[in-house]
Structure 1
């Protein structure tokens, strides 16, 4: 993994992670007032598992990422074009 930085005040250059952060806030963190760091950490871990294993993603054939990855190992998949 290579760590890469983008220039300040240019969120459009990092649109995918910005979109994920919005979803994390809306679908996980914004729904509950946590009493401790441990509770918040556990909620984020559960959300990450849901996001990768069960939540469908329209840009990858309406499949969860885990399922898409497994299928891509054995099939030639054509995904929708994503514009950033």
Structure 2
């Protein structure tokens, strides 16, 4: 496992490493076990950050000093029956 970790962990995560171990080395191993082994050997990569696709644009150019100064509606379109 250490030899595989040196070669592939810079490219693969634990899920792809599990599939590679199953296919190429014919091991019956679970992804959870591979995760625990990678964690014990300290070869896990950090998770990527989730990018916000649609940031909220609520009152960016307004100064709200009290209640009832900004109203927001949500419109839902439906087909008439």
**TM-score where L is the length of structure 1:** 0.27
The structure whose residues are more often helix, as a share, is: 1
**TM-score where L is the length of structure 2:** 0.28
Relative contact order higher in (CA < 8 Å, ≥ 6 apart):
2
Higher Rg of the two aligned structures: 2
